[in-house]
Amino acid sequence: MTAYSGVAPGVRELSALTISKVAVGPGDNNCYLLHCHSTGKRLMIDAANEPEVLLDFCDRRLDAVVTTHQHWDHWENGLAAVVDTTGATTYAGEPDVPGIKVPTDVALHDGDIITCGAFELRVIRLTGHTPGSVALLYDDPEGHPHLFTGDSLFPGGLGNTFGDPDAFASLLKDVEEKIFDRLPDSTWVYPGHGKDTEIGVERPSLPEWRARGW
């Protein structure tokens, strides 16, 4: 699935939902839309920028929007307008809520379940890029898992921990224990910027990431 900045979304069709992806703004932030086939309910992940693009992306109908973490580029220029227009319920990791200047309706904790229509997303807290970063897991009952990682996991490495060794150690521990130790290699990974990847593609690089410290 390929990102097209502000124009045409990449689309992945699953048995129960459609996952669409579009990149917006100067940082090419990935925005994902999950559309439930049986109920029509829609959930957006990271309403980051270019609100008119995002509103067209969701046909101005949206039930929920999850912000993966507090960094401004994932919410500042898109979230308020999207929520004001659609009335969507807002979600974010509890420690990051004060840093998101759009009201959060539901503060998320590790292990929480977000239900949208007939599908569920499990919240995985990944502390390090920010205190309250979350990943969202859709475990497709008729396929492999799909994991939305925000800026905590990318092709080729972890998210930026800004030279803080304690933050890096925390993020590496969470990613290893909560993702690589629990999810199969077939898990598809959808990051906050750039191309998608798979757990099996990234797994061999864990020792390298640990040794280099970023």
What is the side-by-side strand order in the sheet with 10-13? Answer: 10-13, 17-24, 29-36, 42-45, 64-67, 89-93, 106-108
- The string of pLDDT tens digits covering residues 152-169 is 999 999 999 999 999 999
Distance CA 56, CA 44 (A): 12
Distance CA 192, CA 67 (A): 10
27 half-sphere exposure, CB direction, 13 A CA radius: 16
- Runs of H (alpha helix) within the chain: 51-57, 79-86, 165-175, 199-202, 206-212
> Residue 9: what pLDDT?
64
Cα Rg of the chain (Å, integer): 16
> Residue 50: what pLDDT?
97
pLDDT lower than 70: segments of the chain: 1-9
Name the pTM for this structure: 0.95
